[in-house]
Amino acid sequence: MKINRGTVKLVSVGWGRSSAGFPSLRTSRFRVAAAKAETIDKVISIVRKQLALPAETKVSPESTFTKDLGADSLDTVEIVMALEEEFGIAVEEENSENIVTVQDAADLIEKLVEKK
């Protein structure tokens, strides 16, 4: 904003098409699913059991634990523990903080299983 002799002049700044070396600030909803369908199905089954979800509740790879499925922080810890037990893995705390969706969990599981 520029102020000139009692008047206010607004100046708009935009990024334009050329980002001049800046990464895109737009997020994309397109994801590449790295996890196998079998892993995703197991994760969904464990999530359903841990949250005692009724059969009619839709759970998909894009389902978020807190917003879509109503999990609280204790629920998410219990889900991670159940996943660790089922898949024989250990999820570090910093990794568990990045698990927001079923797909996130399945992708992380496959990554950790590969490292075993």
* CA distances for 66 relative to 14, 78, 112, angstroms: 35, 13, 23
> In one letter, which amino acid is 94?
E
Cβ-in-10-Å burial (0-12, 13-18, 19+) of 107 comes to buried
Find the catalytic residue in 72, 75, 104, 107: 72
41 is catalytic: no
**Active site members:** 72
